[in-house]
Structure 1
Amino acid sequence: MKDQIKLQSSAPMSGFQVLMVALCFFMNFNDGIDVLIVSFSSSEIIREFGLSKTEMGYIFSAGLAGMTLGCFSLAPLADKYGRRRIFLISLLMISLGMFGVAFAQAYVPILAWRFLTGLGIGGILPTIATTAAEYSNDKYRDFNVGLIQAGWPIGAILTGLICADLIPLKGWHYAFFLAGCFSAMMTVLVFFVMKDSEEFQSKKIEEQGVKVLLTEELKPNTWRLWLAAFFGFMTLYTVMSWVPTIAKDSGMPFELATYVGISLNIGAAIGSSSIGALGSKFGLKKTHFIYMLSAFTVMQLYAFLPLNTVLIFILVMFIGVFAQGGFNGIWPILSRIYPTSIRATGVGYTVGIGRLGAILGPAVFGILSDSHVGNTVLFVLFSLPLLVMGLIIRTLPSQKL
């Protein structure tokens, strides 16, 4: 089997390999729907239940708390029990959580259902990067791992386009119901199509848990990756969660504010699909740093320039290109640093630590906004973690990058 795997790494990708990478893309596409639908619905949820921005921030953070637990608990199990089983368990959780929110009639149940949805997403996100890497040949591995991350913003774009027309017509509950139906469909598809890779099946199952990531060889990379993910997720999820609401508060109608969120994700799709290929050509660490420095710069422009509608759309799109696209450069980095037998564990713990920043960021943004801190100060403040992430990744000692 080792000879077969070696041949697969150097040979052109087969139709089945392409299908498995495509399935990873669509699972990430589904995650983009399930995460961002709450952002596109946030102003209507606030209106229906009379919530403050702080309370809405807790809804964002409930999903992120679930994602954090899923990264720590479900993703490492994929190294022990197989990728396919974890995908199925996670998709079932997501489907149930989306249907739960669709029929929720109070604030507290929404918190609970968003936590369950996040738990499932936390199991999927690290595992799709791992699976795509295993099914890719050497030539396209970095590109494919970056490309599947574009599924997330593309799912968010379509969600925004649909929500802009659907929510005023049918309401936000119906939007969540349709999203739940798509998650259920993905569950059925994975059940019948997905197989664990030969690379995974050939590896001896090693001891699981954080100890395998803190060996003498891996520890210098591991702690840097954890810090980088924490700071990157802090800003990334704050921007994704609050951009539509900020636009609406500036006086834009609901539909136009939704399109600002779509603009962010158009940029994210461009950045996510390009960073893997550019990283393979120019070096992942160097490319990632350039993206993060650019994201920091664009956020300063958003903070200090006199804004009109057109400029808001342009700057938000470039924030998506460099902030989310640049952040997604971490996935091919992780797939290179951690070997197959512990890859899901390594990615899972990195994303789990990062999710702590994702929980903190939107909640702090909501609290500061309720305390009348202006958007200029907020954008300057939340641009700094991106610069820190870029500097940390630039100092990774691994020679594989």
Structure 2
Amino acid sequence: MHDIPARSPLASVIDNREIGARQYEVLGLCLLVAVLDGFDTQLMGFLVKPMADSLSIAPSSFGPVFAAALFGLMVGALALAPLADLIGRKRVLLLSVLIFGAFALLTALVERYDDLVWIRFMTGLGLGGAIPNLVALASEYMPRRSARIAVTLVFCGMPLGAVAAGLATQWLLGLWSWQVMFVVGGVLPLVTVGLIAIRLPESMEFLARSPQRRTERDRVLGALFPAVDPTGTDRPQALPAHLRRMPVGQLFRQGLWRRTLLLWLPYAMNLLILYSIMSWIPTVLATVAAPLSAGVLAIVLFSLGGVLGSLLQGHVMNRYGAYPVLLVEFAAYLILVVLMSVLPVELDRFLPMMLVLGILVQGAQAGLNAVAVEIYPPAIRSTGVGWALGVGRIGSILGPIAGGLMLSHGWSLPQIFLAALVPGALALGAVLALLLAPKTSADSAGV
């Protein structure tokens, strides 16, 4: 059986030094792209009504548009993430941001419904390719002791971007047309492409496996740590041929198959929960005669909870351990959902519960990203994180569909919340199984 290369000597250099300004810059750039990703991912949801009026179609016709975007997110994560392990994180990140920026901008020019479907698929493709590389870059430029915090900090950019999209919509939509929102959502990523090209270095772990890019590696290392002698960080071999041919297959080798499958289940279940909430909470609240503004506020609070949960996640996981924290979060989610199903819907109580729900669900998602980084060694890290997110997108597609079916069949609010116990229980069971699963040689490769 082929060995998967462990961390390079460069990782030890990073681990043994204080975090410098250049590393904070890398983290800041990753966070910026995550905010833009979250902005463009959520923007369409705020603009359905004015877009439907402009295109002379019913708002209900946007189901295939959302499905196309989510399918694009899945394809982007599955296809572009393995490419990053082969040609470099920075190159694929540049391509991903260029794609979602360009097609967000094209959305502003749409005049036909059919064009909107394929344009949103392409936007999703770029969005899906960006996040796995942000996670990998953030973890690889931080010392092991700070990797969880870095990953969860980057992930908090997603709900932060969603909040920004909601606030910008409230402000700009009253002054200009919906097209202006997509111009903003397209121009900002395209400007950021130039910033990434100039300021974001390639992954040190990738450069360590690329002998032909030794000069670039030495230059990046010198910018990070001027006192370090690059000759002491040479790696004895480049990426093995079997990894260059099929990095996805390595997710199932060396005993990783069990941990890979167990990781995919909570990813899918948690994203099912997350996207069901984002898609249907305003409609669900309308069934109990709550005003539309309450639904919007519920989503904003859920997103703010996501920001708070993601910010806290890394610190809490460092103190108490990754798996115990995830177990507590999913258990607390189950308790909260039971309470929401049995208590009468009173907005003064329901809205704070949405904030707590955001802390738990989106905090857990940030935590799962950190766990994925730790499970997979650097040589297949983008592939591992990307495929976990890609498979998880199946849940993000099925969740809104299931919510729509429950509403169309007249399910009551308590019934819908009780149904939400199922994915939470499955996620809890999978995390417990991950905790009890035997460690592999790949796990020892570390962050």
- Runs of 4 or more consecutive aligned structure 1 residues displaced over 6 Å after TM superposition: none
Query: How many residues of Structure 1 are paired with residues of Structure 2 in the alignment?
Result: 400
Structure 2 unaligned residues grouped into runs of 5+: 1-6, 210-237
Shift of 1:146: 1.0
Shift of 1:291: 0.8
Shift of 1:323: 1.0
Cα 1:51–1:366 change in 2 (3 A) is: farther
Q: Which amino acid aligns with 1:21?
A: L
Note if 1:162 corresponds to 2:168. yes
* Secondary structure of residue in 2 paired with 1:328: helix
Report the equivalent of 1:236: 274
Report the equivalent of 1:369: 407
- For the Cα contact (< 8 Å) 1:213–1:219, is it kept in 2? yes
Aligned equivalent of 1:315, options 350, 353, 356: 353
* Secondary structure of residue in 1 paired with 2:202: coil
Note if 1:130 corresponds to 2:130. no
* Secondary structure of residue in 1 paired with 2:420: helix
Note if 1:29 corresponds to 2:35. yes
Q: TM-score, normalised by structure 2?
A: 0.84
Q: Which amino acid aligns with 2:136?
A: T
Report the equivalent of 1:177: 183
Shift of 1:249: 6.3
Aligned equivalent of 1:51, options 50, 58, 65: 58
Shift of 1:174: 2.0
Report the equivalent of 2:394: 356
Aligned equivalent of 1:300, options 338, 342, 363: 338
Q: Which amino acid aligns with 1:177?
A: V
- For the Cα contact (< 8 Å) 2:247–2:380, is it kept in 1? no
- For the Cα contact (< 8 Å) 1:58–1:363, is it kept in 2? no
Cα 1:107–1:295 change in 2 (3 A) is: farther
Cα 1:2–1:343 change in 2 (3 A) is: closer
Partners of 1:394 and 1:209 lie apart in 2 by 27
Q: Which amino acid aligns with 2:112?
A: A
When structure 1 is superposed on structure 2, of 358-367 and 13-22 the one drifting more is: 358-367
Partners of 1:52 and 1:90 lie apart in 2 by 29
Q: Which amino acid aligns with 1:186?
A: T
Shift of 1:281: 1.3
Q: How does 1:242-321 map to 2 (within 5 A)?
A: 242-247=280-285, 255-321=293-359
Partners of 1:210 and 1:370 lie apart in 2 by 39
- For the Cα contact (< 8 Å) 1:247–1:260, is it kept in 2? no
* Secondary structure of residue in 1 paired with 2:173: helix
Q: TM-score, normalised by structure 1?
A: 0.93
Cα 1:339–1:248 change in 2 (3 A) is: same
Q: Which amino acid aligns with 2:83?
A: L
* Secondary structure of residue in 1 paired with 2:308: helix
Answer with 1 or 2: which has the greater Rg. 2
Q: Which string of whole-angstrom CA distances, capped at 9 and with x for unpartnered residues, describes residues 31-54 of structure 1?
A: 11011112222344455544354x
Q: Which string of whole-angstrom CA distances, capped at 9 and with x for unpartnered residues, describes residues 59-109 of structure 1?
A: 222111001111111111000110111111111110122112222233322
Shift of 1:370: 3.1
Shift of 1:198: 1.9
Q: Which string of whole-angstrom CA distances, capped at 9 and with x for unpartnered residues, describes residues 203-222 of structure 1?
A: 33323332111113211101
Partners of 2:185 and 2:419 lie apart in 1 by 33
Q: Which string of whole-angstrom CA distances, capped at 9 and with x for unpartnered residues, describes residues 294-327 of structure 1?
A: 1222223333322233223211111101011112
Cα 1:2–1:355 change in 2 (3 A) is: closer
- For the Cα contact (< 8 Å) 2:37–2:161, is it kept in 1? yes
Shift of 1:234: 1.3
Partners of 2:19 and 2:68 lie apart in 1 by 40
Q: Which string of whole-angstrom CA distances, capped at 9 and with x for unpartnered residues, describes residues 115-167 of structure 1?
A: 11110011111111111110011221111111111111111112111212333
- For the Cα contact (< 8 Å) 2:82–2:248, is it kept in 1? no
- For the Cα contact (< 8 Å) 2:11–2:140, is it kept in 1? no
Q: How does 1:101-120 map to 2 (within 5 A)?
A: 101-120=107-126
Partners of 1:160 and 1:276 lie apart in 2 by 26
- For the Cα contact (< 8 Å) 1:57–1:362, is it kept in 2? no
Partners of 1:249 and 1:165 lie apart in 2 by 28
- For the Cα contact (< 8 Å) 2:90–2:203, is it kept in 1? no
Note if 1:341 corresponds to 2:347. no
Note if 1:330 corresponds to 2:360. no
Identity of aligned residues (%): 26
Q: Which amino acid aligns with 1:41?
A: L
Cα 1:146–1:187 change in 2 (3 A) is: same
When structure 1 is superposed on structure 2, of 239-248 and 322-331 the one drifting more is: 239-248
Note if 1:89 corresponds to 2:95. yes
Structure 1 unaligned residues grouped into runs of 5+: none
Partners of 2:193 and 2:150 lie apart in 1 by 22
Cα 1:60–1:286 change in 2 (3 A) is: same
Cα 1:267–1:24 change in 2 (3 A) is: same
When structure 1 is superposed on structure 2, of 250-259 and 213-222 the one drifting more is: 250-259
